[in-house]
Amino acid sequence: MNPAVDETLTVHRLEVGETNRILETEFDPGGKGLNVSRVVDRLGRPTTAIVMLGGETGQFIRSRLQREDVDLEVIQLDCPTRINISILDESAGIQTNLNHEGAPIESTDLDALESAIRKWTSEARVMVFGGSLPPGAPAGTYRRMIDCVRDTDTICVLDTSGEALVEGIKARPYLIKPNREEIEEISGVEVESIDDAVAAAGDLLAQGIGEVVVSLGRDGAVAVTDEGAWRAIPPDVEVRSTIGAGDSMVAGLAIGLAEMLGTAQGLILGTAASTATVMTPGTDLCRPEDVQLLLDQVIVEKIA
């Protein structure tokens, strides 16, 4: 719902208040839903991204996705799609993100989105709702959209944060994937250990969620269902950028759900895709050959 053109600027050392020389610039389509579709496509599965685009920046995203052979269902907006800027300080290995709120939308845009979602439920095995909400979208927007899918066979995945996540959970999507900070925010409990993550996820299961996957950065991830809990330990790799890592995990989890691989295998695929993405620079996403190589290196163990 709130895509972006992601611009990554690389500098040798970021000096605040001074003139900085840019060593390298990279432009990529951005936004959780778009990234999920791009990764699903790279992993050889069919996908369609339902996306709200406007202006020349929206046209850039449309052109890039067409070049990548990712199918699009576009809701055309009057305002241009936002640009997000990431500044990578090479000397310190620190990345600073500057994100716009996004193009404002109207109630008619939400109606068009709902119509598109209803149309695709007859074909979609899994539908992922992801990202921040743009200005003009009520906090309950994802709840409304997931409710559209309630009486179908489509499995719903929600990956957002804040009030959008709190409200979206009320629609009882099958799977949610909060990170450490997001699950702390909605649960009010500090997640300092794997046991804390499992306990917080268990509380969300009680609200009608079928599976909760908590991503924990270098500590991997935990997946919790009514049948138990699993921990994924990623292989140790050089981290070049974390942008898109969570979206890549969601893509792997979505494939696991679509192909009924089971919790452990879905978690392995999601962790491999996420790890492969952190190996790429800037806003680039995983390479399929890296994902394939990492699959056998992800350790998944049942912990509860």
Catalytic center residues? 247
The 8 Å CB, 24+ separation contacts for 210-213 are 210/174, 210/175, 211/174, 211/175, 211/176, 211/263, 212/175, 212/176, 212/177, 212/178, 212/183, 213/175, 213/176, 213/177, 213/249, 213/253, 213/267, 213/270
Measured CA to CA, the distance from residue 188 to residue 143 in angstroms comes to: 21
Q: What's the burial of 27, exposed, middle or buried (CB within 10 Å: 0-12/13-18/19+)?
A: middle
From the CA atom positions of the chain, what is the Rg in Å?
A: 19
Spatial contact of 105 and 81, defined as CB atoms under 8 Å apart: no
Measured CA to CA, the distance from residue 113 to residue 142 in angstroms comes to: 11
Q: At what angle do helices 263-278 and 245-258 cross, to 10 degrees?
A: 150
User: How many residues are present in the chain?
Assistant: 304
Angle CA 86–91–96, to nearest 5: 20
